[in-house]
Chains A and B, each alone.
Chain A
Amino acid sequence: MSEQENSREETNEKVKELVIMRINAIPSTTKLSIGGSKTLSKEEMIEHVKRGDKEGKQIVQMHINFIRAVTSGKLITELNSLTN
């Protein structure tokens, strides 16, 4: 594996860790219905993220899209567009 690939792999793992930390914080009474899959409990979400399967990738992508919106200022711009 090249240095670049190593670095990408490391970043992916760090993102996964972050996502898992976020999910760990939610109460066990909260479930998410994501995509075409069944409704997922907190534990199931974590398992999917660890496995890196389709559902896991969707959860990670949801996180990345939100972080992008926050860091680019898009989220604030959209929230500020609300008049009341």
Chain B
Amino acid sequence: MQKGLIITCPKYDDGTEYLFYFSKAIIGEAKNRNIKIKEISDKEVEMVNFSKVVTKLDYNLIVLNGHGSADTIYGHKDCVLIQVGKNEQLLNGRITYARSCDAGQMLGEKCVEYSKEGCFIGYSLPFIFAMDTRWTANPHNDNKAKLFLEPSNSIPISLIKGQSAQDAYENSKKLILKNLRKVINTKEEDSFVLAEALWNNYFGQVILGNSEAKI
């Protein structure tokens, strides 16, 4: 296995478009640190291509953006990308961050079941983020989305900077809390719902397997 990042960025609805744009910061950080990167985006985010890339490049950090469920992470237009019982062994021994819903419940457990080296960071609840419809054409300027997606970005960014999985996990949780405090203090019309959603991500974020893993 070699040091490098494989990141999946499907882009076919508002939610995945936002994840696609916010993932640029992760890719930028990897470029700055001369870490090898393979971005799989748009229609390329499907099981056969993904399996081929992971097997061939054998990079040790995988970042998955997209919709998910307890046993599956989806790619382009909700096609299955990784599923328990089908190809979850591809993630064994690697550090995986899944910015998807619920995958920490079952898929994450399976990914670290057969390897002492690997680590999975994800969510055991739905991953939630807010967006402001006035900024959908420029997601990177959407301050509501930033409240959610910058803390989640900090997981792979911390790993790229050489920190352990546990540190990456804790950095992100701290950033969520800071944003939660900010939201509560602003007392805007949507503060309560934003706080609920931030707490959901804080409460649902999980780390499984080798928490001392580094790339």
The answer to whether A34 and B128 touch across the interface, beta carbons within 8 angstroms, is: yes
B53 cross-chain contacts in A, Cβ below 8 A: none
In the complex, residue of chain A having the shortest beta-carbon distance to the beta carbon of B123: A35
A28 cross-chain contacts in B, Cβ below 8 A: 133
Interface 9-mer from B88-96, B158-166, B198-206: B198-206
B68, B180, B190, B194: the one within 8 Å of A36 (CB): B68
**How long is the Cα–Cα vector from A33 to B19 in the complex, in angstroms?**
11
A75 cross-chain contacts in B, Cβ below 8 A: 199
Please give the distance in Å from A42's CB to the nearest CB on chain B: 9
The answer to whether B178 and A39 touch across the interface, beta carbons within 8 angstroms, is: no
Chain B residues touching A, range: 35 or more
The answer to whether B144 and A30 touch across the interface, beta carbons within 8 angstroms, is: yes
Is B5 located at the chain interface by the 8 A CB criterion?
Answer: no
Is B181 located at the chain interface by the 8 A CB criterion?
Answer: yes
Q: With A36-B67, A36-B74 in contact, is A30–B193 under 8 Å at CB?
A: yes
The answer to whether A25 and B190 touch across the interface, beta carbons within 8 angstroms, is: yes
* Total A-B residue contacts, Cβ distance less than 8 Å: 98
DSSP class of A's interface residues: helix, strand, loop or mixed? mixed
**How long is the Cα–Cα vector from A27 to B69 in the complex, in angstroms?**
29
B101, B129, B180, B203: the one within 8 Å of A65 (CB): B203
Chain A residues touching B, range: 20 to 34
DSSP class of B's interface residues: helix, strand, loop or mixed? helix
A39 cross-chain contacts in B, Cβ below 8 A: 13-15, 131
The answer to whether B131 and A22 touch across the interface, beta carbons within 8 angstroms, is: no
The answer to whether A81 and B195 touch across the interface, beta carbons within 8 angstroms, is: no
Is B56 located at the chain interface by the 8 A CB criterion?
Answer: no
Which of A23, A25, A39 neighbours the largest number of chain B CB atoms within 10 Å of its CB?
Answer: A39
Q: With A27-B190, A33-B14 in contact, is A79–B126 under 8 Å at CB?
A: no
In the complex, residue of chain B having the shortest beta-carbon distance to the beta carbon of A29: B133
The answer to whether B190 and A31 touch across the interface, beta carbons within 8 angstroms, is: no
B126 cross-chain contacts in A, Cβ below 8 A: 34-36, 58, 62
The answer to whether A31 and B199 touch across the interface, beta carbons within 8 angstroms, is: no
**How long is the Cα–Cα vector from A63 to B195 in the complex, in angstroms?**
10
> Can you list 20 pairs linking A and B with CB atoms under 8 Å apart?
A22-B196, A26-B189, A26-B190, A29-B132, A30-B194, A32-B129, A32-B197, A33-B18, A33-B131, A36-B67, A36-B102, A39-B14, A39-B15, A61-B125, A62-B128, A62-B199, A65-B203, A69-B199, A69-B203, A79-B181
Query: Which residues of A line the B interface, CB within 8 A?
Result: 22-23, 25-39, 58, 61-63, 65-66, 69, 75, 78-79, 81-82
